[in-house]
Structure 1
Amino acid sequence: MGERSMTTGKWRSNRLDELGSSIFAEVIQWKKHARASGMDVIDLDIGSPDKPPSDAVMQALGAAALRPNQYGYMGTRGSDAFRKTAAEWMAFRFGVQVDAEAEMLSLMGSQDGLAHLAMAICNAGDEVLLPNPGYPIYAGSLAIAGVKPIFYPLTAAGGFLPDVEAITEEEWRRARFILLNYPGNPVSAVADMALFDKVLEKARKYDVLVINDAAYSEMAFDGFEPPSILSANGAMERAIEIHSLSKSFNMAGCRIGFVTGNREAVGALRELKENIDYGIFAAVQEAGVAALKEAMSKAAPPKVGQLYERRRDVFIDALRAGGWQVEKPKATMFIWAALPTMEWTHPDGPWTSRLIARELLEQTGVAVIPGEAFGSEGEGYVRLALVVDEARLLEAAERIGRFIRGKARVHHRSTT
C-alpha cells in the first residue's frame, strides 16, 4: 500500500492535494471571520455573475420545467435541438461550420469539459502544455488523469500571450495537447488570429492538439470581438474549443456549455462522459436554446460585455484616483492587477499577493484572490471580479484607496 501524507488521512486520496490551490478555501475562511467580526464584505473574489439571464431565457426554463415529460435521463450528447442551435450560433458568431452530430457535445458548464478532457484524450504519463498563471482546473484535471504539466509562462512583457518559440522543440514533441484561454482568466488578456495561427502551425508540426477555453468570448470591450480558433484554416483538424453560457448569458447556476471542433477529440470526450453522467436537465437545455436563439435574433439584447465594460471603467478610474495604477483589461469580468510595492513592512514577512489579499480583507472588507492561486507566475498580482454593481465597486475602490494610502509611500510594479 502506498504511503499517505500526514495531511490526507486514511480515507482521503493524495491526489486531492493536487486538484487546486488551497488559497480559495483560505479566502472563504477569511471572509467568514471578517463577517463574524461585523465587517461589511464586498465579494470581488469569485467570478459569479450577479445578474439573471434575460426574461426570455427564464420563461423558457420555467415553462419547460413545468412539463412532466422533462424529468427523464437526457443522454450525454445533449438534445438535438441544443446541439443544432449551438452549431448555428458558431456559424452566426464566428463563421465556423460544425457538424452538430459529430463535432458538438453539450457540457455541464465549461469546467465539466476541462475537468475530463485529459482523461479522454491522454494516457497516464502523457504531458500537456498549460499556461502559468492559469485557471486551477487546468492543472487539477491533469492530476486526476495522471498526466504531467509542462508550464509555459504568461508575462506582462509578452502581453500575457504564449511565446510559442520559447517553448522548446523537446517540449513540443512531448506534449499531447496545448491549452489556451482567450479571452483569459485570471489574466484578462485577448488573442487575435495571428496568435492562433502561430500555435496551430507549431501544433501541426509536432502533432499536438490545441484546446481553447473560450468561456469569455462574449465579454469583450472597446469594440473588440474575440475570434474563435476554429476560424483558422485547417483548425478543425487540429483544435477544439469550449464555450459556456454561464458568463455570456448569466446562466452560471444552470451549468450548460459545449465543446466543438475536431471530431475525434470531441468523440473521445463524449465516450468518456457516456460512462460517467446522463446529460443536462432537459429544461436547462431548452433555456440554452432560448439564449442562443435570442442572441442571433434581430431583437438581441446588448451583449453582457457592455455591462462589464461600464463597471471596468468606473472601478479602475476610481482605483487610479485612489493611488493604484491598474491596467484596463480588454475582456472578461476580471481585473488582473499588478500589486503596488509598499515600503511599510509586515510582521509576517515581505508583501506577497496572499498577504496583501488577507490584509485587504481584514482591514477593508474587500475580498480578492491572490495571484499565486493561479500559479507561480501569478505572484505579484491579485484578481478582482467585477461582480457587484457600480455603487459597490466605488465603495470597494474607496476602501482600497484608504488601505494603500495607509501603507506610507507606494511604488507601483512595472507592467512592461
Structure 2
Amino acid sequence: MPEMSSKLQSRFNRQLKNVAPSPIRVFDMKASAVPGIVKLTLGEPDFNVPDVSKQAAIDSINNNDSHYSPSAGTPELRKAIAHFMADRYGLKYDPNGEIVVTIGATEAIYAALFALINPGDKVVIPTPTFPLYEAIAAMLGAQVITIDTSSNGFVLSPEMLKETMAKAGDVKAVVLNYPSNPTGVTYSADQLKAIADVLADTDTVVIADEIYSELVYEDHHTSLAKFLPGQTVILNGASKSGAMTGYRVGFVAAPAGLAKMIGMVHSLMITSPADPSMAAAVPVFASEAGKQATDKMRAAYQERRDVLVSGLTDLGFTVAKPNGAFYVFAKLPASQGTDDVAFAQKLVDEAKVATIPGSYFGAGGAGYLRLSYATSMDNIHEALQRITKMLNK
C-alpha cells in the first residue's frame, strides 16, 4: 500500500480547509454499525424503482445504448423533463438549451454554484438546511451568509431576506430548498411571490432546489420560477419521486443564458450521464405509469408522517406537521435539555434508534432531531416503541 509523501501535505486546494466531511453521513455510518439499529437517518426511499423504469433501463442495455450521449442529456429525457415541468407546474422550458441532465441533484448543485461563484462572492442560505450547499459554496471561496428561520416556523420571510440583502450589499445567489430538508416545510404561492418581489429588482440568482416537489401533501407545489423566471435556476430529479437514488439522475432548468454556463461546467466534469439511467428516468417524468407510482409513494409517506408526528407528540416532542419531503423536525422534550447531538447518541446507545441531530443543519437546528420516514411503517412503530421505553426508564 503506497503512503503519501509527507512533502505533499501542503499541496491540496486551500479551500478544502473550509469543508468538513458530511456530519450526517458520519453519524449514520457510526450508527449503522450498531447491531439491531432502527434507522430514521437518510433520505433514502425504501420503495423499489417503478417497473416501467426498470424495463426502460433493461431495454436501453439490450439496445446497446452504451455510447456518449449529448452532454446535456438525451433528447428523449430532456423532452420528458420539459413535459414534466409544464404538466405539473405550468413552467415552459425548451428541452434544447434550457434543460441540463445531471448526475443527481448533487451535481446540479455543484454545477450551478460553480458556474456562478467567484471567490469572495456572497451567497445567502436560509437555515436549517441541507449542509451541502454551504460546503460547496465555501469550497468555491464564497462568503456564505446564513439566515436563521427558526423564529418564523422555518420559513424565510421577505422581511428577513430584505434585511439580509441590505446589510450584505451585492449578493450573487440565494439558495432556497423547498420542500425543505430537514424540516419538511414548504412555501405557498403567496410566500414565494413575496420573496420574488424582494429579488425582482436585483441581479441576484436564486438556486431553487425543488427535488422534493412531488412529495407535497396537503397542497400543490409552486415553483419560485413562476414569479421570477429570468433569475431562477431550478434543481430537481428522479431520486426522490422515482425512488431512484442509485440511478443518479437530476436536472437543471433555467433560462438559456444560465443553462449554457451551467451546462459547460457540467460537461467539463462528467462529459455525459449514463444512457440506461437516463432511459429509466424518462417514464418517471412523462408516463402515466410513472406518475401513478409517485402518487402511490406519496400516499404511503403521508400515512407514515401522520403516525410519526402523532407518536412523537405523545412523547413530548414539539413537532410541526411537515407538508413536504419525508422528514420530521422534532424539538426535544423539555425534560431532555437542548443538546441534540448528545440526545441522538443516547438514542443510538440506549434505544438502538438512529436519527440525525438538528444542529448538523445549521443555525436554528440546535435542540431538534431530524427523523426520516422514508422507511417502513414497521420501522416507524418499532422506533417509537423503543424511544418510549427509553424515556420511561
Taking structure 1 as reference, are residues 160 and 293 closer, same or farther at Cα in structure 2, changes over 3 Å only?
Answer: same
Tell me the alpha carbon deviations over residues 265-317 of structure 1, each in whole angstroms, 9 at most, x when there is no partner. Answer: 21111011121211111111111112112248896762522111011112222
Structure 2 match to 1:306: 299
Offset at residue 11 of structure 1 (A): 6.0
State whether residues 106 and 256 of structure 1, in contact with CA within 8 Å, keep that contact through their aligned partners in structure 2: yes
Taking structure 1 as reference, are residues 52 and 300 closer, same or farther at Cα in structure 2, changes over 3 Å only?
Answer: closer
Residue type of the alignment partner of 2:186: V
Structure 1 match to 2:212: 216
Tell me the alpha carbon deviations over residues 210-264 of structure 1, each in whole angstroms, 9 at most, x when there is no partner. Answer: 1211000011113x111112222xx221112111210011111100021112222
Taking structure 1 as reference, are residues 124 and 14 closer, same or farther at Cα in structure 2, changes over 3 Å only?
Answer: closer
Residue type of the alignment partner of 2:389: R
Q: Provide the secondary structure at the position in 2 that maps to 1:205.
A: coil
Tell me the distance in 2 between the aligned counterparts of 1:260 and 1:384.
30
Residue type of the alignment partner of 1:353: D
Structure 2 match to 1:410: none
Gaps of 5+ in 1: 1-7, 344-349, 407-416
Structure 1 match to 2:229: 236
**Among 146, 150, 165, which residue is 2:159 paired with?**
165
Offset at residue 362 of structure 1 (A): 0.7
State whether residues 285 and 291 of structure 2, in contact with CA within 8 Å, keep that contact through their aligned partners in structure 1: no
Scaled by the length of structure 1, the TM-score of the pair is 0.87
State whether residues 30 and 361 of structure 1, in contact with CA within 8 Å, keep that contact through their aligned partners in structure 2: no
**Among 360, 364, 368, which residue is 2:351 paired with?**
364
Tell me the distance in 2 between the aligned counterparts of 1:209 and 1:283.
33
Structure 2 match to 1:339: 332
Q: Establish whether residue 139 from structure 1 lines up as the match of residue 134 from structure 2.
A: yes
Tell me the distance in 2 between the aligned counterparts of 1:339 and 1:319.
10
Scaled by the length of structure 2, the TM-score of the pair is 0.91
Structure 2 match to 1:277: 270
Question: Structure 1 vs Structure 2: percent identity of aligned residues?
Answer: 25
Residue type of the alignment partner of 1:245: A
Tell me the alpha carbon deviations over residues 45-83 of structure 1, each in whole angstroms, 9 at most, x when there is no partner. Answer: 111111112111111112212222x11222321011111
Tell me the distance in 2 between the aligned counterparts of 1:54 and 1:82.
17
Offset at residue 360 of structure 1 (A): 0.6
Q: Provide the secondary structure at the position in 2 that maps to 1:243.
A: strand
Tell me the alpha carbon deviations over residues 348-374 of structure 1, each in whole angstroms, 9 at most, x when there is no partner. Answer: xx6411110101111111111101111
Structure 2 match to 1:185: 181
**Among 391, 399, 403, which residue is 2:390 paired with?**
403
Residue type of the alignment partner of 2:240: K
Residue type of the alignment partner of 1:78: G
Structure 2 match to 1:46: 42
Tell me the distance in 2 between the aligned counterparts of 1:22 and 1:229.
28
Structure 2 match to 1:3: none
State whether residues 115 and 137 of structure 1, in contact with CA within 8 Å, keep that contact through their aligned partners in structure 2: no
Gaps of 5+ in 2: 1-7
Alignment of 1:22-101 (within 5 A): 23-35=23-35, 40-68=36-64, 70-101=65-96
The count of aligned residue pairs is 384
Offset at residue 29 of structure 1 (A): 4.9
State whether residues 161 and 191 of structure 1, in contact with CA within 8 Å, keep that contact through their aligned partners in structure 2: yes
Q: Provide the secondary structure at the position in 1 that maps to 2:34.
A: helix
